Structure 1
Amino acid sequence: MLYQQERQDVCEVTKMMFNRFVTNAAGGNISVKINHEHFIMTPTLMAQQKFCDLSPDDILVLTRDGEIIEGKGNITREFNMHIGTYDTLPNAQAIIHAHPKELMVFASLGLEVSHLTESTRKLGEVKTLPYAPATSMELAEVVKTYMRSRKSDIPVATLLREHGVLIADTSLRKAYDMLERLEYEAYVNFQAAVIGALGLYKGEK
């Protein structure tokens, strides 16, 4: 089996995402850049059909043109969004797209996540991109254009309007770490807004 350890790692992170509610049965996907020609990626419908409980042979080994070399199942149509991000961020080695509970509120309303804690400040802006239909080439182009504006920033995270979050980093574990940090940041943002609206916090004296 090609890249067995890397594919096992993707399985572990995928299951953790589902169990910890940073994605849901509506989907999400993970990819890792192995080298210039080969990528590994979760198959389409990984959440809906398997509740993110995958085995290494479920993980697809792909060329940059989307040809399946190994793995069961079909390639997700989000592959274009992933490959476009790799093309514009040469330092990216892993990408996670997910549907986290707290961040989905910001993505659905088109809001930017503020850095109220220090754990996510290295991301810089975390804005919501203009709406484009899920899995579409239009969405892939929206993401690619934004990533081009970020130049070589790593890590980078952005929200997809009404759809979820996309995070790129230098390794899969780092990307997952940033996903959880950002989900907690969204929770802090929401609770801070509630506390402010109730008049319980008026800022530092």
Structure 2
Amino acid sequence: MAKGRMIFEEERIDLANIVKMAFTRKLTNVAGGNFSFKTTDEAGKEYIIMTPTMMSEAYFGDLSPSQILVVEPHTRKILAGEGSLTREINMHEAAYDANPEIKCVFHSHAPNAMFWASSGLNMPNLTEATQKVRQIKVLDFEPNCSEELAAIVSEKLTALREAGEELPYQFLLDSHGILVTTPGADGLEALHKALSIVDTVEWNAEIAYKQTIFQKLGIMDGYHSKGIKIGTVEDVINGKALWNDAVLGGAGGD
């Protein structure tokens, strides 16, 4: 590292910029949200680059790169950065431990996703851009920052890995927001993938809500995605997680 430069400077600048972007785009709110990704030093030692606690409530997403934390996994020792470690580190470490291919854990309070999370209903996945994340399920409620929430996340991620389901994975956290876990060639690539998923899922959340209203008004006969009907509001009420697995492909951006 050059004299006078911050440790992991590029990574911390990038994460600080993404925090501001997420707050500006209303992908999280003053109630919180926390983002992290994994990186390694020249010797191959692993670290977690993470937002500090109160990033939204105290700073409204306007963080400097020096505030971004460099954390030693499991010891939770802060090696660099300003501020304290969020208690949500429980969930982040649980995710990384459940699947070593996860390079980024992105938790936010996007409003339309929060609607589905608070409803206790799985979000119908309807748009072409969100098909890569497949089913969008809501987990059982456990308090934020709790070991119980971390355990639920770990259990679900482990089950998906053991079933051979490819990343990315995402969940709705009941009454708490959205959780996205992504792979990547490195942590920065995974971080940008996660931001893209949160943004496109947020658009999908609004579209799914509107298709639900149209069904109840009798304008539509079900949820439609990529030219076909994939289910109905009754399916969602009965616990199904709808997505268009009949017409694959076209999951990327234009």
Deviations 1:51-105 (A, max 9, x none): 0100111000000021100000000000110011011121111111000110111
Aligned partner of 2:55 among 46, 68, 90: 46
Give, in angstroms, the shift of residue 199 of structure 1: 1.6
* Correspondence list, 1:101-180, <5 A: 101-151=111-161, 153-170=166-183, 171-180=190-199
Give, in angstroms, the shift of residue 9 of structure 1: 0.7
TM-score for the superposition, normalised by structure 1: 0.96
Larger Rg: 2
**Residue aligning to 1:202:** 221
SS at match of 2:23: helix
TM-score for the superposition, normalised by structure 2: 0.78
Matched length: 205
Deviations 1:152-202 (A, max 9, x none): 631110011111111011211110000011111111100111112112223
Give, in angstroms, the shift of residue 27 of structure 1: 0.3
Contact (CA 8 Å) 1:84, 1:143: kept in 2 or not?
yes
Counterpart Cα distance in 1 of 2:132 and 2:118 = 24
Counterpart Cα distance in 2 of 1:46 and 1:186 = 25
Contact (CA 8 Å) 1:60, 1:71: kept in 2 or not?
yes
- Residue type of the partner of 2:67? D
**Residue aligning to 2:203:** 184
SS at match of 1:74: coil
> What is the CA RMSD across the aligned residues, in angstroms?
1.4
| 1:12 aligns to 2:17 (yes or no) | yes
Give, in angstroms, the shift of residue 37 of structure 1: 2.5
- Residue type of the partner of 1:85? A
Larger helix proportion of the pair:
1
Moved >2 Å (runs of 4+): 201-205
